[in-house]
Amino acid sequence: MLHPSYSDLMAVVNSEVEPGEQPVVQSRYSIVMATSKRARQIIGNMSAINAKSKKDPKNSLTEKEEAFEKYCEKRKPLSIAVEELYQGKVKIVGDEE
């Protein structure tokens, strides 16, 4: 089971909403969809980095890419996505934004 819970994630994501405004995330479905979308982005980034390193082994990865690769080695993309949302590293924007 992933920690924090979905209700904790919803509270963090909606913490910057002004009083009287509609929350960005209103249901479990919304938080699950946002988290899964971010996990797919992480998978895509890792695939691009792997393709780049296989294409030209002599061309080393940038420091940022190497750090991202090491960060993702021991963790699953969904766990990374949940942690990023909980820490506020990633913001969820509404459809109109």
Give the model's pLDDT for residue 37: 92
Write the burial class of residue 31 (CB in 10 Å: 0-12 exposed, 13-18 middle, 19+ buried).
buried
Give the model's pLDDT for residue 46: 85
Sign of the Cα torsion 28, 34, 38, 40 reads positive
pLDDT of the chain along its 97 residues, tens only? 557 887 888 888 888 777 878 878 888 888 888 889 999 999 998 888 777 777 766 667 777 877 887 777 888 899 889 888 888 888 887 666 5
Residues 6+ apart with CB under 8 A from 88: 12
